[in-house]
């Protein structure tokens, strides 16, 4: 029998479900939100995680949306090996140096008993294999075989895969030794076409982040010290989390001819001359799930934007044994009707939770999972022809809405939640951002708790970047495209072409 909420649940309504709160301890709050929402667990392998069904369902929705956007822009999916011969990395010195400390290396092919009850590796490989940290080198090798003439170009490939980068300070979804991602790789006959590709894919990520994740982002160019190893230019989108820190939500790299030369990607142009190709690469990872958590969630748990919620509406039947059949039949009809409604191009994802769990505890489970809308249906609601509606973006507020009115407005309610979450995050970012014109003000800004983003002119000095990183723990997140007015560097008074965004980051 499903009953009303328990005293414990009523107490949570006052205090919130997650302890500690965001204000008390943001890093631990983040971990507890993941645990409470059943998103992931730490694995027996240090630095790795097990993504649970609810967390993986969010990643699948991210995949689905992005994959459609990639294909609509002419990219095709392929798959490349997990293992990359060491000699391929040795071709590109800057690239190797950038990843050397993060590489996992396979040196043997089998195990045999060690005579002490254990096992030991044997049969050493002639050449070590690198477990891919990224695939530019091996994809470049294949491009060199596929490209002969300008008629073969452009080649636009995407891969959904896992990668390994040895992580000393892991944090679920944000930094793990193994993580999931997509990596796009393209080769072009013309410099300008490749540069446009890199910027187009950055814009693709921006559209996805703001439209589907409800996460406002700032696009810009990375400084020389922060760019991808071996790239000519790196572009990024940066988002602000609720503790004021920046999250790099995606990157797009214009690689110039660097990788083409090291991989011998050459083609015969229209004039019959041999040229090197111009390449790009771009990617986002499962850290987007971490970005969702830290952008929208509250002290009651996860908050999901409707577009990326595995269940957008959950129906919670409330009944005594004598009304069970009537209530469940009513809920099934409601589920059927709601499931035929479209939110943009997809039918609503609606679930009935009829588990034998106390009503209050069941409701709190769904609150902590971040489902956008909860509907509670009891005998009295049926008799009144109404539905008890809770919106996750408006905690602890309920509305009793006539049945047909809710049916006709369900998609609008979800669309409004999506908009509210975006505007809320955008407002927070604006409040936590400051344009700064003096070094003294800059230092004071970053000495406060959870400072946010500082916009300040910078002359391009790597020495200043390094000093700010060591003294204040901040980095240049990007040189935003929207901040191109000239001025004077706040550190040296030398001329500056634009402002940089400085922040603490993940």
Q: Specify if 27 maps to a domain.
A: no
Tens-digit pLDDT profile for residues 78-132: 999 999 999 998 888 788 788 888 999 999 999 999 999 999 999 999 999 999 9
Q: Are 177 and 165 in contact (CB under 8 A)?
A: yes
For residue 409, what is the domain's CATH number? Answer: 3.40.50.800
Q: Specify if 440 maps to a domain.
A: yes
Per-residue pLDDT of the chain (506 residues; tens, 9 = 90+): 444 444 455 555 556 789 999 999 999 999 999 999 999 999 999 999 999 999 999 999 999 999 999 999 999 999 999 999 999 988 887 887 888 889 999 999 999 999 999 999 999 999 999 999 999 999 999 999 999 999 999 999 999 999 999 998 999 999 999 999 999 999 999 999 999 999 999 999 999 999 999 999 999 999 999 999 999 999 999 999 999 999 999 999 999 999 999 999 999 999 999 999 999 999 999 999 999 999 999 999 999 999 999 999 999 999 999 999 999 999 999 999 999 999 999 999 999 999 998 989 999 999 999 999 999 999 999 999 999 999 999 988 899 999 999 999 999 999 999 999 999 999 999 999 999 999 999 999 999 999 999 999 999 999 999 999 999 999 999 999 998 899 999 999 999 999 999 999 99
Q: Are 291 and 247 in contact (CB under 8 A)?
A: yes
Q: How far apart are CA 70 and CA 158, in angstroms?
A: 8
Strand pairing class (76-77; 155-164): parallel
CA dihedral 7, 12, 15, 16 (to 10 degrees): 180
Same domain, 74 and 209: yes
pLDDT for 1 equals 43
pLDDT for 126 equals 95
Residue % of the chain over a pLDDT of 90: 91
Same domain, 280 and 395: no
Same domain, 457 and 345: no
Q: Are 152 and 188 in contact (CB under 8 A)?
A: no
Q: How many domains would you assign to the chain?
A: 3
Same domain, 205 and 315: no
Q: Specify if 469 maps to a domain.
A: yes
pLDDT for 446 equals 97
Q: Specify if 125 maps to a domain.
A: no
Q: Specify if 150 maps to a domain.
A: yes
Q: How far apart are CA 437 and CA 449, in angstroms?
A: 20
Same domain, 52 and 150: yes
Q: Are 40 and 51 in contact (CB under 8 A)?
A: yes
For residue 292, what is the domain's CATH number? Answer: 3.30.930.10
3-state SS class at 381: helix
Same domain, 157 and 260: yes
Domain boundary among 296, 320, 346: 296
For residue 468, what is the domain's CATH number? Answer: 3.30.110.30
pLDDT for 8 equals 54
Beta-bridge mates of residue 233 = 254
Q: Specify if 15 maps to a domain.
A: no
Same domain, 326 and 421: yes
Domain boundary among 274, 296, 318: 296
Domain boundary among 406, 429, 452: 429
Same domain, 200 and 322: no
Among all chains, which residue has been given the structure tokens 């470049």? 140
Same domain, 448 and 333: no
pLDDT for 11 equals 53
Q: What are phi and psi of 132, to 5 degrees?
A: -55, 125
Q: Are 334 and 377 in contact (CB under 8 A)?
A: yes
Q: Specify if 95 maps to a domain.
A: no
Q: Are 331 and 399 in contact (CB under 8 A)?
A: no
DSSP class of residue 438 equals: S
Same domain, 465 and 412: no
Same domain, 200 and 253: yes
DSSP class of residue 174 equals: T
Q: How far apart are CA 305 and CA 418, in angstroms?
A: 5
Q: Are 17 and 36 in contact (CB under 8 A)?
A: yes
pLDDT for 99 equals 85
With 0.75 as the threshold, say if the pTM is over it: yes
Q: Specify if 460 maps to a domain.
A: yes
The residue range of the domain holding 325 is 309-429
Q: Are 467 and 422 in contact (CB under 8 A)?
A: no
User: Where does residue 474 rank: exposed (0-12), middle (13-18), buried (19+ CB within 10 A)?
Assistant: buried
């Amino acid at each position: 029998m499903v009953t009303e909420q328990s005293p414990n649940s009523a107490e949570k309504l006052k205090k919130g479900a997650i302890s500690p709160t965001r204000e008390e301890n943001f890093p631990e709050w983040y971990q507890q939100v993941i645990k409470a929402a059943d998103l992931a667990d730490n694995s027996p392998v240090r630095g790795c995680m097990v993504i649970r069904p609810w967390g993986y369902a969010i990643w699948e929705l991210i995949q689905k949306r992005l994959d459609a956007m990639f294909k609509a822009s002419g990219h095709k999916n392929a798959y490349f090996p997990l293992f990359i011969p060491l000699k391929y990395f040795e071709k590109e010195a800057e690239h190797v140096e950038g990843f050397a400390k993060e590489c996992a290396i396979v040196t043997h092919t089998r195990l045999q008993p060690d005579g002490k009850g254990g096992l030991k590796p044997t049969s050493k490989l002639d050449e070590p294999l690198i477990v891919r940290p990224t695939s530019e080198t091996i994809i470049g090798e294949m491009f060199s075989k596929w490209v002969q003439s300008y008629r073969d170009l452009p080649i636009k490939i995407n891969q959904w895969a896992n990668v390994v980068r040895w992580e000393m300070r892991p944090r679920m979804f944000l930094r793990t030794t193994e993580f999931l991602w997509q990596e796009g790789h393209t080769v072009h006959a013309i410099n300008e076409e490749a540069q446009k590709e890199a910027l187009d894919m950055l814009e693709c990520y921006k559209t996805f982040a703001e439209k589907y994740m409800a996460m406002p982002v700032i696009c810009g160019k990375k400084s020389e010290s922060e760019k991808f190893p071996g790239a000519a230019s790196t572009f990024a989108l940066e988002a602000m989390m609720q503790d004021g820190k920046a999250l790099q939500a995606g990157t797009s790299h214009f690689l110039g001819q660097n990788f083409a030369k090291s991989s011998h990607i050459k083609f015969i142009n229209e004039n019959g001359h041999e040229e090197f190709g111009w390449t790009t690469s771009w990617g986002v990872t499962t850290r987007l799930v971490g970005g969702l958590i830290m952008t929208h969630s509250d002290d009651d748990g996860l908050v999901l934007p409707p577009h990326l919620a595995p269940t957008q509406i959950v129906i919670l039947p409330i009944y005594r044994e004598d009304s069970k059949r009537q209530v469940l039949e009513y809920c099934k009809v409601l589920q059927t009707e709601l499931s035929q409604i479209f939110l943009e191009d997809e039918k609503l994802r609606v679930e009935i939770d009829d588990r034998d769990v106390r009503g209050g505890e069941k409701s709190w489970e769904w609150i902590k999972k971040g489902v956008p809308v909860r509907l509670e249906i009891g005998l009295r609601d049926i008799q009144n022809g109404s539905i008890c509606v809770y919106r996750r973006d408006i905690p602890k507020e309920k509305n009793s809405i006539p049945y047909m009115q809710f049916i006709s407005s369900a998609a609008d309610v979800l669309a409004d939640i999506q908009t509210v979450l975006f505007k809320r995050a955008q407002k927070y970012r604006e409040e936590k951002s400051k344009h700064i014109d003096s070094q003294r003000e800059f230092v004071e800004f970053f000495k406060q708790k959870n400072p946010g983003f500082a916009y300040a002119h910078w002359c391009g000095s790597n020495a200043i970047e390094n000093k700010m990183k060591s003294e204040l723990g901040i980095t240049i997140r990007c040189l935003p495209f929207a901040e191109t007015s000239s001025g004077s560097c706040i550190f040296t008074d030398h001329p500056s072409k634009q402002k940089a965004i400085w922040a603490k980051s993940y």
